[in-house]
A and B are shown apart, each in its own frame.
Chain A
C-alpha cells in the first residue's frame, strides 16, 4: 500500500496496562508526527520526528508517553500504565518535507484506544 498504515486499528486496555501503537509511514517520508484526537475534537500534536531524531516532544501529556523511530521509518508510540483519560484516537502522519512552514501531511487511519 502507498499510504500510512497504523496497527492495531482498535485497542482495548485495562487501566494500568502498557500499550504500543505502531505507525508505518509512506516510504521515503522524512517527517513523522503523532497526534491524539479525543472524541469531538481536532487532533492534538504529541511529537515530531525527522528521520530517527525526535525533534519535538512538547505535546506528550506525561512521562507515561514515549515515542521512538529507531531506524527513521516505522515508529512506535508507547503508553505506560494507561489511564481512562488516555482513551482517544491516536493518529500518525508522515511528510516528505524535512522542515519549514509548508508541511503537507498524510495521515493514517488511526488507532482507537479505549481504556477501561
Chain B
C-alpha cells in the first residue's frame, strides 16, 4: 500500500499547457522529494523540500511543500514533450522513505 497518494494517476496534455500534480498524505514528513522516472531507468531526483510552506523553482517546474508538511504539489509551466515521464513523490522521516504510485505525464507535441 502507498502511504502517499498522488493525483492524477495519468495526465495527457498538449505542448504549451500548464499542469499541476499533487502528493498527499496523512503523515508528517521531515522532507519530501520529487523524482522523475523514464522507462527502463531508475528515478532521478528533481528537488527536495524541507520546510513547511517552502517553494522551490527549477526552470519551468515549481514545487511547494504544504505548511503542515503532509502534502506537496508540482506545477509545470508551458509543458514540453521532454517533460513526459513518471513523476514520483517520496516522503522521508528518519531513515525511511516512502513513495507514491506516481503521476504518468504525457506531453503531446
Contacts and interface: CB of A to CB of B under 8 A. Distances in A.
A103 B100 contact: no
A33 B41 contact: no
A97 to B, nearest CB: 9
B108 to A, nearest CB: 21
B68 interface: no
A66 interface: no
B2 A41 contact: yes
A107 B42 contact: yes
A42 B102 contact: yes
Given A101-B94, A107-B42, A107-B43, A43 B88 contact: yes
A32 B2 CA distance: 21
B11 interface: no
B98 interface: yes
A114 interface: no
Main SS of chain B's interface residues?
strand
B35 to A, nearest CB: 8
A103 B97 CA distance: 8
Contacts of B44: 107
A21 interface: no
Contacts of B31: 101-103
A108 interface: yes
Interface in B93-109: 93-102
Contact of B97 (A4, A45, A50): A45
A1 interface: no
Nearest to B6: A42
B42 A108 contact: yes
A102 to B, nearest CB: 6
A99 B95 contact: yes
Which among B2, B100, B101 has the greatest number of chain A C-beta atoms within 10 A?
B101
22 contacts: A33-B97, A42-B90, A42-B99, A42-B101, A43-B99, A44-B99, A45-B96, A45-B98, A45-B99, A91-B43, A101-B50, A101-B92, A102-B30, A102-B92, A103-B92, A103-B95, A103-B97, A104-B33, A105-B97, A107-B42, A108-B42, A110-B41
